[in-house]
Amino acid sequence: MKYLDKTIQELHALLVKKEVTPYDLVCEAIQRAKEDKNNAFETIVEEEAIAYAKSLKEPEEDNLFWGIPYVAKDNFSTKGILTTGSSDILKDYVPVFDATVIEKLKAKKAVLIGKTTLDELAMGGTGTSGHKGKTFNPYDPTHTYMIGGSSCGSAASVAAGIVPFALGSDTGDSIRKPASYAGLVGMKPTWGRISRYGLFPFAPSMDHVGYFTRSIFDACSALEVLEGYDPKDMTSSKKETKNYRKALSTDLKNIKIAVIKEILESVEDQKILDDFAKTRNYLESCGAEFQEISVDKSLLTAIFGTYFVLSCSEATSNNANLDGIKFGLRIGGEKTYQEVMMNARTKGFGEFIKRRFVIGSYSLFKENQDELFLLAQKARRIIVNKINEILKEYHAIYSPCVGRIRNPFDSQEDRLSDNYLIAENHLALANFAGLPSLSLPIGTDDGFPFDANLTGRAFDEQTIFNIGWCIEKYTGLENLSVERRVK
């Protein structure tokens, strides 16, 4: 009997009825993780997970995460468990503390079965730059098309039916874009909703903790567990937390949704546009009011450059502690601090992130700041003002997640095309403004799923969950995994 292609909600029902035990689920998850062909894992946490699962005897009816196996991206600190960030510079790093989200899941008695691959230190979108090489898309046994990154291993393990839930992080789109290539629900809530204590920082003004599930209901459950003020993270919010599941509703009366015309116009695959239009019609029938609005294209094409300058600058400063002394690889034989640092960083970092550090340092040089870092900050402000202005009038912005359903590893796409600059990069808007943003499947093409995205008002996760719930009911694309792929 196979269980792990079920949602958390379904597994919970079986656990409560004692039709299955946490031990059964964890053994199955570990077995499947060991058989994984997609390079999704940095570490499989076998012994601890099995021993812990064995100790879980009495099901907790009100606790949906009781005995549920899950995985975490390998940039979350896990006490006593190797945490590499998929980088050679941290290849032997074993943290002495747990990230707050790991602690919260432990408190709910969820069982961590593995740490997943990522683009090195979360800086990437292709799932190819971690020290373990490429992570593959479980939907594509030919290994031609990417799962996307940087949360590639987390997306791949949920899509492959290894676990029903995975932690990820999202600075530009690192959960919501792989969610599209993997046909999953990918959620990053409002900046501050979930504590980031113990998440390796990449660009903290845009970093968010988020996660993958296979249904909107599970996504609501997960936020209820993960959110909340944390004294260990001064950027975490004291806003009251909610019962999102209880408030789920398909009544969209008085809900106004904006569609940005320029994003639709930059999407290349017609199938995305067709299925997007169908879901839009359905949402209208649920009472939502739609408006197609226009945003100055120069703002939309500026997202990528703005993101790159800001994220690389923040990354340069935040990764300065990986110097071979405070943290990181120690080669040995050096005579000075500078030599230790040079050696550690030269050998420890991969080519792609070295390039990002060069861009970041260059943007931060005093003589370049006006022209690069400060200019990018101004551009971000103008873009954020525009988005906030839209969200004053509308409850959410609805858009396709990607411009192309499938993206090959060897893509030669023109990086100045609208498809690339707008359709493939607009999800960063929600990071610029710290807004809640949810991706969920709306269609499939030749067996490959793809998502649309809902970005909402700050701290109003409920509305995007509700809209998403309607979409899910319409498409029936709940609980997709490779074994349940829709042809």
- The residues annotated with a catalytic role in the active site are 73, 150, 174
Residue 311 beta carbon to ligand GLN: minimum distance, rounded to whole angstroms: 6
Shortest distance in whole angstroms from residue 24 CB to ligand GLN: 34
- Per-residue x/- track, 329-368, ligand GLN (CB under 6 A): ----------------------------------------
- 124 binds ligand GLN per the rule CB under 6 A: yes
Cβ neighbourhood burial of 274 (10 Å; 0-12, 13-18, 19+): exposed
User: Counting contacts by CB under 6 A, is residue 423 touching ligand GLN?
Assistant: no
x/- binding map, residues 234-263, to ligand GLN, per CB under 6 A? Answer: ------------------------------
Candidates 43-51, 90-98, 116-124, 295-303 — which segment interacts with ligand GLN by CB under 6 A?
Answer: 116-124
State which of residues 56, 122, 152, 187 lies at the interface with ligand GLN (CB under 6 A). Answer: 122
Query: How many residues at the interface with ligand GLN, by CB under 6 A?
Result: 12
Token output for 417: 């095309």
Residues paired with residue 399 on neighbouring β-strands, in sequence order: 453
**Cα–Cα distance between 359 and 242 in angstroms, integer?**
41
Could you tell me which stretch among 93-101, 120-128, 377-385, 454-462 binds ligand GLN (CB under 6 A)?
120-128
Q: Does 74 bind ligand GLN (CB under 6 A)?
A: no
**Binders in 126-145 for ligand GLN, by CB under 6 A:** none
Figure out which of the listed residues 69, 164, 172, 400 binds ligand GLN, where binding follows CB under 6 A: 172
- Does 171 help bind ligand GLN (rule: CB under 6 A)? yes
From 114, 125, 192, 348, residue interacting with ligand GLN (rule: CB under 6 A): 125
* Subset of residues 290 to 319 that bind ligand GLN, contact rule: CB under 6 A: 311
Among 5, 28, 140, 170, the residue binding ligand GLN under the rule CB under 6 A is: 170
Q: Does 269 bind ligand GLN (CB under 6 A)?
A: no
Interface with ligand GLN (CB under 6 A), residue from 181, 202, 357, 420? 202
Longest dimension (CA), the chain: 71
Binding region for ligand GLN (CB under 6 A) out of 164-172, 249-257, 450-458, 459-467:
164-172
Q: Which stretch binds ligand GLN (CB under 6 A): 95-103, 121-129, 137-145, 156-164?
A: 121-129
Residue 150 binding ligand GLN, by CB under 6 A: yes
Long-range contacts of 134-140 (CB under 8 A, 24+ apart): 134/39, 134/409, 135/38, 135/39, 135/40, 136/37, 136/38, 136/39, 137/38, 137/181, 137/182, 138/38, 138/182, 138/482, 139/181, 139/182, 139/183, 139/447, 139/448, 139/449, 139/482, 139/485, 140/406, 140/448
Binder among 28, 140, 173, 472 for ligand GLN (CB under 6 A):
173
| The binder of ligand GLN chosen from 39, 78, 174, 190 (CB under 6 A) | 174
Question: How far is the C-alpha of 191 from the C-alpha of 444, rounded, in Å?
Answer: 31
Q: Which of 161, 428, 445 is nearest to 306 (CA)?
A: 428
CB contact burial 71-96 (16+ within 10 A = b; e otherwise):
bbbbbbbbeebbbbbbbbbbeebebe
**Which of 26, 123, 159, 199 touches ligand GLN (CB under 6 A)?**
123
- Here the tokens at position 224 are 């209820």
Nearest-approach distance from CB 375 to ligand GLN, in angstroms: 19
- From the CB of 337, what's the least distance to ligand GLN, in Å? 30
25 binding ligand GLN? (CB under 6 A): no
Positions in the binding site for ligand GLN (CB under 6 A): 122-125, 150, 170-174, 202, 311
